[in-house]
Amino acid sequence: MSNIPGELKYSKSHEWVRINDDGSVTIGITEHAQDLMGDMVYVELPESGASLNQGDDCAVVESVKAASDVYAPIGGEVLEVNDALADAPETINSDPYGEGWIFRMNPSDGAEVDALMDANAYEELVASED
Protein backbone atom coordinates (compact mmCIF):
# COMPACT_ATOMS: atom_id res chain seq x y z
CA MET A 1 0.00 0.00 0.00
CA SER A 2 1.36 3.38 -0.90
CA ASN A 3 2.21 6.05 1.62
CA ILE A 4 -0.60 8.60 2.19
CA PRO A 5 0.37 11.11 4.91
CA GLY A 6 -2.53 11.97 7.21
CA GLU A 7 -1.74 15.71 7.47
CA LEU A 8 -2.17 16.38 3.74
CA LYS A 9 -5.21 16.98 1.54
CA TYR A 10 -5.70 15.29 -1.82
CA SER A 11 -7.33 15.80 -5.21
CA LYS A 12 -9.00 13.22 -7.44
CA SER A 13 -6.25 13.78 -10.01
CA HIS A 14 -3.62 12.59 -7.49
CA GLU A 15 -2.11 15.87 -6.35
CA TRP A 16 -1.38 16.41 -2.66
CA VAL A 17 -1.85 19.76 -0.90
CA ARG A 18 -0.04 20.85 2.27
CA ILE A 19 -1.51 23.82 4.14
CA ASN A 20 1.39 25.93 5.43
CA ASP A 21 1.39 28.11 8.55
CA ASP A 22 1.34 31.32 6.46
CA GLY A 23 -1.87 30.22 4.68
CA SER A 24 -0.10 29.35 1.43
CA VAL A 25 -0.32 25.75 0.10
CA THR A 26 2.38 23.49 -1.32
CA ILE A 27 1.44 21.06 -4.08
CA GLY A 28 2.97 17.92 -5.49
CA ILE A 29 1.90 14.54 -6.84
CA THR A 30 1.24 11.56 -4.61
CA GLU A 31 3.42 8.53 -4.12
CA HIS A 32 0.74 6.47 -5.85
CA ALA A 33 0.85 8.79 -8.90
CA GLN A 34 4.64 8.75 -9.22
CA ASP A 35 4.63 4.97 -8.80
CA LEU A 36 2.17 4.56 -11.67
CA MET A 37 4.29 6.77 -13.90
CA GLY A 38 7.71 5.33 -13.16
CA ASP A 39 11.09 7.06 -13.52
CA MET A 40 10.65 10.82 -14.01
CA VAL A 41 12.78 12.43 -16.69
CA TYR A 42 11.28 15.88 -17.22
CA VAL A 43 9.10 18.38 -15.38
CA GLU A 44 7.45 21.44 -16.90
CA LEU A 45 6.76 23.87 -14.05
CA PRO A 46 4.06 26.54 -13.83
CA GLU A 47 5.08 30.20 -14.10
CA SER A 48 5.65 32.01 -10.86
CA GLY A 49 2.95 34.67 -10.51
CA ALA A 50 0.50 32.81 -12.76
CA SER A 51 -3.13 32.91 -11.77
CA LEU A 52 -4.79 29.49 -11.86
CA ASN A 53 -8.34 28.26 -11.67
CA GLN A 54 -9.16 24.99 -9.99
CA GLY A 55 -8.65 22.16 -12.50
CA ASP A 56 -6.29 24.08 -14.83
CA ASP A 57 -3.50 21.98 -16.28
CA CYS A 58 -0.56 23.89 -14.88
CA ALA A 59 2.44 21.56 -14.98
CA VAL A 60 3.57 18.44 -16.80
CA VAL A 61 5.50 15.53 -15.37
CA GLU A 62 7.09 13.13 -17.83
CA SER A 63 8.43 9.70 -17.02
CA VAL A 64 10.34 7.50 -19.44
CA LYS A 65 6.98 6.02 -20.45
CA ALA A 66 4.56 8.92 -20.65
CA ALA A 67 3.64 12.54 -20.07
CA SER A 68 1.00 13.43 -17.52
CA ASP A 69 -0.65 16.76 -16.73
CA VAL A 70 -0.65 18.14 -13.22
CA TYR A 71 -3.89 19.99 -12.42
CA ALA A 72 -4.32 22.87 -10.01
CA PRO A 73 -6.19 21.23 -7.11
CA ILE A 74 -7.47 24.68 -6.13
CA GLY A 75 -7.51 28.16 -7.66
CA GLY A 76 -5.05 30.88 -6.75
CA GLU A 77 -1.76 32.59 -7.52
CA VAL A 78 1.51 30.69 -7.98
CA LEU A 79 4.01 32.02 -5.42
CA GLU A 80 7.01 29.79 -6.01
CA VAL A 81 8.02 26.81 -8.16
CA ASN A 82 10.52 24.06 -7.37
CA ASP A 83 13.28 24.92 -9.87
CA ALA A 84 15.47 22.12 -8.53
CA LEU A 85 13.21 19.65 -10.36
CA ALA A 86 14.52 20.88 -13.71
CA ASP A 87 17.85 19.18 -13.07
CA ALA A 88 16.60 16.42 -10.80
CA PRO A 89 13.09 15.32 -11.87
CA GLU A 90 13.74 11.94 -10.19
CA THR A 91 13.28 13.70 -6.84
CA ILE A 92 9.54 13.26 -7.44
CA ASN A 93 10.13 9.49 -7.34
CA SER A 94 12.41 9.45 -4.32
CA ASP A 95 10.64 12.04 -2.13
CA PRO A 96 7.20 12.86 -3.55
CA TYR A 97 5.90 14.56 -0.37
CA GLY A 98 9.13 16.41 0.49
CA GLU A 99 11.87 17.60 -1.85
CA GLY A 100 9.70 16.52 -4.80
CA TRP A 101 7.14 19.32 -4.25
CA ILE A 102 6.18 21.09 -7.49
CA PHE A 103 4.81 24.53 -6.62
CA ARG A 104 3.42 26.71 -3.87
CA MET A 105 0.36 28.89 -4.23
CA ASN A 106 -1.85 31.38 -2.45
CA PRO A 107 -5.41 29.97 -2.49
CA SER A 108 -8.10 32.31 -3.77
CA ASP A 109 -10.98 30.44 -2.16
CA GLY A 110 -10.69 28.71 1.21
CA ALA A 111 -13.80 26.66 0.42
CA GLU A 112 -11.91 24.87 -2.36
CA VAL A 113 -9.22 23.87 0.12
CA ASP A 114 -11.82 22.60 2.60
CA ALA A 115 -13.50 20.52 -0.10
CA LEU A 116 -10.33 18.52 -0.90
CA MET A 117 -10.17 14.87 0.21
CA ASP A 118 -8.55 13.83 3.45
CA ALA A 119 -6.13 10.89 3.59
CA ASN A 120 -8.86 8.33 4.28
CA ALA A 121 -10.95 9.43 1.33
CA TYR A 122 -7.90 9.42 -0.93
CA GLU A 123 -6.93 5.95 0.24
CA GLU A 124 -10.39 4.74 -0.77
CA LEU A 125 -10.00 6.38 -4.18
CA VAL A 126 -6.65 4.63 -4.76
CA ALA A 127 -8.09 1.31 -3.63
CA SER A 128 -11.04 1.67 -5.99
CA GLU A 129 -8.72 2.30 -8.94
CA ASP A 130 -6.60 -0.82 -8.37
By the rule CB under 8 A, 84 interacts with another protein: no
Q: Distance between CA atoms of 21 and 63, rounded to whole angstroms? A: 32
By the rule CB under 8 A, 124 interacts with another protein: no
Whether the CB-CB separation of 25 and 110 falls below 8 Å is answered with: no
CB of residue 101 vs another protein: minimum separation in angstroms? 20
By the rule CB under 8 A, 67 interacts with another protein: yes
By the rule CB under 8 A, 56 interacts with another protein: no
User: What's the one-letter identity of residue 124?
Assistant: E
By the rule CB under 8 A, 42 interacts with another protein: yes
Nearer to another protein, 42 or 120 (CB): 42
By the rule CB under 8 A, 62 interacts with another protein: yes
Q: Distance between CA atoms of 43 and 26, rounded to whole angstroms? A: 16
Whether the CB-CB separation of 25 and 114 falls below 8 Å is answered with: no
Among 5, 18, 19, 44, binds another protein (CB under 8 A): 44
Kindly report the backbone phi and psi dihedral angles of residue 12, in degrees, each rounded to the nearest multiple of 5, phi listed first.
-65, -25
Nearer to another protein, 13 or 108 (CB): 13
Specify the DSSP element, H or E, that contains 77.
strand 76-81
Number of other CB atoms surrounding residue 24 within 10 Å = 16
CB of residue 62 vs another protein: minimum separation in angstroms? 5
By the rule CB under 8 A, 39 interacts with another protein: yes
Q: Contact residues for another protein (CB under 8 A)?
A: 38-39, 41-42, 44, 60, 62, 64-67
